[in-house]
Amino acid sequence: MEYYADQGWTDGLPVVPVTESYLAEFLAQTDRDPGDVLLPMPQLNRACTVRLAAINAALAGCRPEYFPVVLAAWESLAAEGYPAKGIWQSTTGTAPFLIVNGPVRERIGLNSKGNVFGSGFRANATIGRAIRLGVLNVFGLRPHELDQATQGTPAKYTFCIAENEEESPWPALHTEFGLAATDSAVTAIVIRSCVHIEARHTRVPEQLATDIAGTISRTGALIHETISAAVVLSPEHARLFSAAGWGKSDLGQFLFDHAVRTREELAAAGKEAVSSRTRWRLPADHPDALPSDTGDGAVRVLNSPAAVLVVVAGAGNAGVSAVVETFGPRGGPPPVTRVTGRGGAPRCA
C-alpha cells in the first residue's frame, strides 16, 4: 500500500493492491471489451476505459459485484456532459453525485436510509470512491496540479446514495424517466455543494417548500444567470407533501415559481446583471454586463421546473432534507443509466 501511495495512486487513504487475477474478477462482471471507452477527455488526450474503471474500482475497495454499478456511473457521467468539458478541473471544486435505484440497492447493500450522506456502508463508500480514483489516476486531475479547486468539497472522496424507494410515497426516480421498477439504474450529476434543511416546524406544504426555495435561491449559489438543484427529501418531508396531494412535479413547479430574488437583493450582492459572454452574474456597472432593468421585480433563479431533481433518501425519523447544488442551468431529463451485468452495456433511458 505504501508503494501505491508513493506513486500517487491514492486519494490520501489506503487502497487495495490489485493483481491481474483480482482484476479479472471485476472484468468478469461485464461482457464489455476492456478497451471500450466510457468517458473521453480529448482536452487531456486521455480516456477512461472499462479496464481502467475496473482497476480503480478494485483500488477503491469495491467488491467485484459492485462493478456493473460503477460502469453505469461512468456511462451516466459521460451522458451528463459536464466532466468532458473540463469542469472537474474547475476552481469551484465540483464532484460527482451518484444516485442508485432499483433491486441492485438491496443486492449489494447500498444505504438509502439513515446517515445516507455519511459513512458506514461499503457499497456507497467504495462505488463513489471508484469514480474519484478514476478522476485522479486516469485523467491526472490531482490537487495542486490539474485539479484547480480553491477549497474543494468532502464529496470529492465519495458521494453515492441509493434512493429510499420503500419509504417514498412517489414512484422511484428511474421509473420517471422510462425504466421499469425491476430495472436498476444510476443517475450521475456534477455537484458543487450540499446544504441541509432542518424543518420540523410546520405541516404546511407551502411553508416547507418555501424554505426549500429559499435555500435554492440563496445569493451565494447564484454563480450563473440560472442554477439547478437536486432536492433530497427525507421520507417525513416527502410524506408531508404527498399527504397534501403533491407529487414531485408539483414540488418542482412550486420551486420554479418561488425560487426568486428581487433585483434589489441581487444588487446588494453585486449580482443584478449577467455577463454578455459567459452569462455569469456580476454588478450592473461591470463593463461586460448586459443592459438590465433597474427595477426591483422578482428574478427567477431556475430556468424551468425541470432544473430541480427530486429524490427521497434518508431515515424517516425527522424533518431533515437537503438541497444539493448541481452544476449548470439544467433542464430536461437527467442521465438515468441502466445497470447491467453480463449480456450488454448500460444504456441511458
pLDDT, one tens digit per residue, over 219-274 is: 999 999 999 999 999 999 999 999 999 999 999 999 999 999 999 999 999 999 99
Distance CA 239, CA 80 (A): 30
In 3D, which of 41, 40, 96, 103 has the Cα closest to residue 70?
96
Distance CA 308, CA 124 (A): 23
Q: In the chain, pLDDT over 90 holds for what percent of residues?
A: 89
Torsion of CA 115, 124, 322, 11, to 10 degrees: 110
Q: What is the pLDDT of residue 281?
A: 95
pLDDT band per the 50, 70, 90 thresholds, residue 342? low
Task: Inform me whether the pLDDT recorded for 295 exceeds 80.
Answer: no
Backbone dihedral region of 45: left (phi > 0), alpha (psi from -120 to 50 degrees) or beta? left
Q: Are 327 and 190 in contact (CB under 8 A)?
A: yes
pLDDT digits (tens, 9 = 90+) for 12-71: 999 999 999 999 999 999 999 999 999 999 989 999 999 999 999 999 999 999 999 999
Task: Inform me whether the pLDDT recorded for 343 exceeds 60.
Answer: no
Residue 64 CB-half CA count within 13 A: 12
Backbone dihedral region of 301: left (phi > 0), alpha (psi from -120 to 50 degrees) or beta? alpha
Distance CA 134, CA 20 (A): 18
Distance CA 304, CA 57 (A): 36
> C-alpha 233: how far from its chain's center?
15
Q: Which of the two residues, 167 and 82, has the higher pLDDT score?
A: 167
Q: What is the pLDDT of residue 107?
A: 97
pTM of the model: 0.95
pLDDT band per the 50, 70, 90 thresholds, residue 85? confident
Distance CA 12, CA 10 (A): 5
In 3D, which of 183, 161, 138, 140 has the Cα closest to residue 230?
161
Q: Which of the two residues, 174 and 86, has the higher pLDDT score?
A: 174
Q: Are 242 and 169 in contact (CB under 8 A)?
A: yes
Distance CA 317, CA 182 (A): 27
Q: What is the pLDDT of residue 349?
A: 52
